[in-house]
Amino acid sequence: MVLSRKVAVTVVAMASLLVWTHVPVRSQSTLGIVRGRFALPASGLDDRRPALTDPRTRPIVRQPRVGVVYLEVAPSAAFEEPVRMHERMDQRNETFVPHVLAVRTGTIVDFPNSDRIYHNVFSLSPTRRFDLGRYAVGHSKSIRFDRPGVVRVFCDIHSHMSAFILVFSHRYFAVTQPDGTFQLPAVPAGTYMLAAWFEGEVKANRQIVVRAGETSIADLPVS
């Protein structure tokens, strides 16, 4: 009899725990996928500046061309998931790696120096102005990005070094593969404007319809 009472108390306690720890989430059945290909332009902006201390004007390593595809307006009451709020843009072989980084607002980006020379990362973009100063190999400095927009990143020592950081207030964005393909998962059903960015400019946009439980194909030719 005593054992039965203990079992009953244990069951009630576990049931109470389950009730209190339950967190409702948006049903996956109301979500769809957006998949497609962005026809990447042959070239973009020329970000080279007059050399300050290093006369070279071309990067040593050329990275694959990529773009960023995103929803112009985020859906209301959208399904959210844990967000990685720490990213990295390396300085390697006198090149920013990656050349294009897309992040959420509130993300901290680390800028480690992997070269055996000094670098000085800075930006004059209104979205986030900063100047990290000169630092040597093995050191890293960080910046938090709190406002949505485009940030152009340079090195004050090497004029051929440049990169872009795109900051979004929502999670509905993706950096394309080098062939232009992309995927936006878990998008709430609805009608949206899809935009494609490349090297400082919005190159294409189109209206898309996302249906629950389906994959919408949305190719983006250059306008």
**How is residue 192 annotated by DSSP?**
E
Give CA–CA dist 2/33, Å, rounded: 55
- The domain made up of 2-217 has a fold known as Immunoglobulin-like (2.60.40)
Supply the pLDDT for residue 58.
52
Query: What is the structure's pLDDT at 3?
Result: 40
pLDDT recorded at residue 222: 80
Q: Which amino acid is at 162?
A: S
pLDDT (0 to 100) of residue 16: 30
Q: How far apart are CA 42 and CA 65, in angstroms?
A: 9
Domain extents in the chain = 2-217
Phi, psi of 7 (to 5 degrees): -65, -45
Kindly give the confidence (pLDDT) of every residue in the chain, 223 residues in length, as a single tens digit, with 9 standing for 90 and above. Answer: 444 444 343 333 333 322 322 333 345 678 999 999 999 987 655 555 544 445 554 545 678 899 999 999 988 765 566 567 899 999 999 999 999 999 999 999 999 999 999 999 999 999 999 999 999 999 999 999 999 999 999 999 999 999 999 999 999 999 999 999 999 999 999 999 999 999 999 999 999 999 999 999 999 998 6
Q: Which of 90, 69, 103, 92 is nearest to 195 (CA)?
A: 69
Longest dimension (CA), the chain: 89
Q: Are 171 and 81 in contact (CB under 8 A)?
A: yes
Burial of 182 (0-12, 13-18, 19+ CB in 10 A): buried
60, 95 contact by CB (below 8 A): yes
